[in-house]
Amino acid sequence: MKRVKKPRGIRHDRDCHRCKARGVKCDLNRPRCQACLQVGEACNYPLRVVWVQDKKQKVPSSLGLKTDSAQNQLSRIFKNTEHISDADTKSTSINLYGFVDLLDTFYQQIQSSTRSIPEEGIQLISRTLSFARSRLEDANNGEAIQSHLMALTNLSQVIKSAHPIALFGIATFAMFEVCSGSFGNWHCHLQGARSLLDLHCRCKADLDDLCSEIAGLADILAYLVWFDVTGALTSDSPLIFDDWHRETLSDTFFESVGCPADTFDLFVYLGKHLKTAGPNIMDLSARAMDQILRLGVAKTDRNLAATVYQAAAAIVAFARAAAVSGDPLTSYQSNVISTMVDRVCDAIAGIPSTSRFYVHLATPAYLTGMHASTTRQCDIIRGYWRNCQLYDFPRYPDAEAQCERRWKTCGVRG
């Protein structure tokens, strides 16, 4: 008699999280299953994780594992093989873990450097690195709280000495404030960074010299000027840094977050004229139309991310043009804005939450949410904020509440 094999059951670990939570049969369609597509919800599949080999790691033979297998397990870098291509993993982008890696690299450099760096400066990087690591693991454990206090104390000492290495500590606290604080209110740390930077740099040449002296400083400043512009748009606060500071943003940086450089230029233009009637209405409308004409049709993650930024920039520019004129939006402007909100929502819904661009779409998602006018639009923006809360390190805790208040005030039935 032949042995009867045990029948194979359905693997529910492959179902998307929403279907699994609701007890709905998932068709496993990628990037979005049909059940989520029908209700306009963001689809979030379990991650398939593979370990990327770190050639620098040496594995003790006493572990009793094959070398390749053990090295793969000991590597700290991982990627999602379902949605992220090899080309997408080359850049760490504005990522908390990538930022910690940047701090770690800089700490290794200053330890072996022959340049004169005060002892408290080296301690600051060490303690800031410890704080960042423990903060990522658990914000409420005793080690995280203690390392937080130690890093703050050390940062205060270095700021008193006005050494530019304090910018690394300021940027670290700014990074966590962006992720965990009130959405858009990021300028407290940025003001301190600008004041410290002004003691050493009065022009682009001074900044270039300082960045050549301190490795990694240009990368740190790129984070700060990016938060400056995006924070100005979301909180209606004036820009802190100047144009020559923003030159630290490279093409690689823009590519990593999915924002086209010309769209960022429009964000800067809007940030400069938030509190004035300076911008010409025709100029604003022309800039908005330029972004609309640049919208692509490809459905890659990178193109969808660019669409989110471009359409959001057009929305804000048209709304700002109407505000400058003092007249209510015309039917034409309202229709264009509504169409652009739909384009943003469609793009956000089309990008898997596991994409490396997804978490960086917070600012355009917020700007779009402020102009949402239908239930479907509100649901997609709401789904975006909830997906951001599902990451291993939750982000933007009050962004959804801010959007909800806006919808309630405007009478939108979200």
- The string of DSSP codes covering 58-88 is ---GGG-S-HHHHHHHH-S-EEETTT--TGG
- DSSP per-residue codes, 263-324: HHHHHHHHHHTTTSS-S-HHHHHHHHHHHHHT-----SHHHHHHHHHHHHHHHHHHHHHHHH
Question: Which of the following CATH numbers is that of domain 12-90: 2.40.128, 4.10.240, 1.10.3470, 3.40.50?
Answer: 4.10.240
**Count H helices, E strands: the chain?**
19, 2
Q: Is the pLDDT of residue 367 over 70?
A: yes
Distance (Å, rounded) from C-alpha 111 to C-alpha 274?
A: 44
Better-scored residue on pLDDT, 52 or 188: 188
Q: Which of 91, 98, 51 is nearest to 71 (CA)?
A: 51
Going from the C-alpha of 187 to that of each of 128, 163, 248, 394, the distances in angstroms are 20, 21, 19, 21
- pLDDT at 29 > cutoff 50: yes
- CB of 352 closer than 8 Å to CB of 45: yes
21 has a pLDDT exceeding 70: yes
Tokens for 72?
Answer: 């793969």
> Does the structure show a pLDDT above 90 at 213?
no
Over the chain, what is the mean pLDDT? 80
pLDDT, tens only, 144-171? 788 888 888 888 888 888 899 999 999 9
The more confidently predicted of residues 39 and 181 is: 181
At 247, list the tokens: 């030159």
Output the pLDDT for position 322.
81
Alpha-carbon span 275 to 273, nearest angstrom: 6
- pLDDT band (50, 70, 90) for residue 60: very low
**pLDDT for 166-201, tens place per residue?**
999 999 999 988 999 999 888 888 999 999 999 999
**Which pLDDT score is estimated for 13?**
59
Lowest-pLDDT range, 11-25, 58-72, 389-403?
A: 58-72
Span 111-129, pLDDT tens digits: 776 566 778 888 888 888 8
Kindly tell me if the per-residue pLDDT of 37 is higher than 60.
yes
